């Protein structure tokens, strides 16, 4: 009756939210569920969605039917988790609900998005106390083994993000032009606009040369910053968690 009064098609009894999460994550893995830009979710995005939905949303709302979840339910969830989380992480949880309901709306499982108007907590990120000087950064890098110093040097001297460092290949560095191409790999960039060519400052260029010489001049197709172990879950890529 409420749907009819608002001019909406009444939704039929829907599945439980916990089951919907399971189906949605599976569809995202298979490339059936798409992001808001109409593209496949990247593996890292699927892992983030799965973590938010299974660790925070399912315990609180999983027993409810998908169509019975309301804005107040989502707001209470935000109010409950906000004290122990950063503002950005709370936003990730809310965005995961929005992604779930966007997928459900496309399949006529629901007619509404309960997280659309949820009020989010203030961003309370701790500001940096200071930034290391070039001399201090050089001293910090010198204290590390070459294979550990290189990813930190690419981050500090070339503005590289974590995924960009993990997926960078040998051919992404042009030592003659003194340029490093970041975000060349689709899995290593947040969007197409993230692809960029960054000039190699002298400390970074020298460190890259030393690393490549120490590895016996590896060829194109090899990782610029390989992991300490081959294979495994990271497929030989650098593990920042470890």
Q: What is the DSSP letter of 56?
A: I
pLDDT band of residue 37 (cuts 50, 70, 90) is confident
Mean pLDDT, residues 118-126: 77
Region of poorest pLDDT, from 12-16, 97-101, 103-107, 155-159: 12-16
Mean pLDDT, residues 140-160: 93
Tokens representing 174 are 């042009």
Mean pLDDT, residues 221-233: 78
Find the radius of gyration of the CA atoms of the chain: 23
Given a cut of 60, whether residue 137 has pLDDT beyond it is: yes
Contacts of 79 (CB under 8 A, 6+ apart): none
pLDDT, position 6: 77
Given a cut of 70, whether residue 121 has pLDDT beyond it is: yes
Given a cut of 80, whether residue 98 has pLDDT beyond it is: yes
Distance CA 90, CA 93 (A): 5
Phi/psi at 47 (5° precision): -65, -40
Average pLDDT over all residues of the chain:
87
**pTM to 2 decimals?**
0.66
Given a cut of 80, whether residue 223 has pLDDT beyond it is: yes
Mean pLDDT, residues 28-47: 88
C-alpha pair distances (Å), 175 with each of 137, 168, 214: 22, 14, 16
Tokens representing 150 are 């290189």
pLDDT, position 153: 95
Count of CB atoms within 10 A of residue 136's CB?
11
pLDDT, position 93: 94
Given a cut of 80, whether residue 53 has pLDDT beyond it is: yes
Given a cut of 80, whether residue 129 has pLDDT beyond it is: no
Strands 196-199 and 179-182: antiparallel
Q: What is the DSSP letter of 86?
A: -
C-alpha pair distances (Å), 192 with each of 38, 49, 186, 189: 14, 21, 8, 7
pLDDT, position 38: 87
Q: Answer whether 49's CB lies under 8 Å from 41's CB.
A: yes
pLDDT, position 173: 94
Share above pLDDT 90 across residues of the chain, in percent, rounded to a whole number = 53
pLDDT, position 124: 63
Given a cut of 90, whether residue 186 has pLDDT beyond it is: no
27 class by beta-carbon count within 10 Å (0-12 exposed, 13-18 middle, 19+ buried): middle
Q: Cα–chain-centroid distance for residue 47? A: 8
pLDDT, position 188: 64
């Amino acid at each position: 009756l409420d749907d009819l009064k608002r001019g909406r098609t009444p939704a039929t009894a829907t599945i439980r939210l916990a089951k919907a999460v399971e189906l949605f994550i599976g569809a995202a893995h298979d490339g059936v569920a798409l992001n808001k830009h109409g593209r496949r979710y990247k593996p890292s995005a699927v892992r983030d969605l799965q973590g938010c939905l299974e660790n925070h949303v399912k315990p609180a709302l999983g027993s409810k039917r998908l169509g019975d979840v309301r804005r107040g339910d989502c707001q209470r969830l935000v109010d409950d988790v906000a004290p122990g989380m950063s503002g950005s992480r709370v936003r990730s949880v809310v965005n995961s609900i929005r992604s779930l309901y966007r997928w459900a709306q496309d399949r006529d499982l629901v007619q509404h998005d309960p997280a659309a108007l949820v009020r989010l907590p203030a961003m309370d990120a701790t500001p940096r106390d200071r930034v290391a000087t070039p001399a201090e950064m050089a001293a910090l890098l010198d204290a590390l083994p070459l294979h550990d110093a290189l990813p930190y040097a690419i981050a500090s001297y070339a503005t590289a993000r974590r995924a960009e460092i993990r997926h960078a290949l040998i051919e992404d560095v042009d030592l003659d032009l003194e340029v490093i191409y970041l975000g060349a790999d689709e899995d290593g960039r947040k969007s197409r606009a993230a692809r960029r060519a960054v000039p190699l400052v002298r400390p970074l260029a020298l460190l890259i040369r030393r690393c490549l010489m120490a590895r016996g001049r590896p060829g194109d197709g090899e990782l610029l910053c390989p992991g300490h172990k081959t294979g495994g879950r990271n497929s030989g890529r650098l593990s920042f968690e470890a």
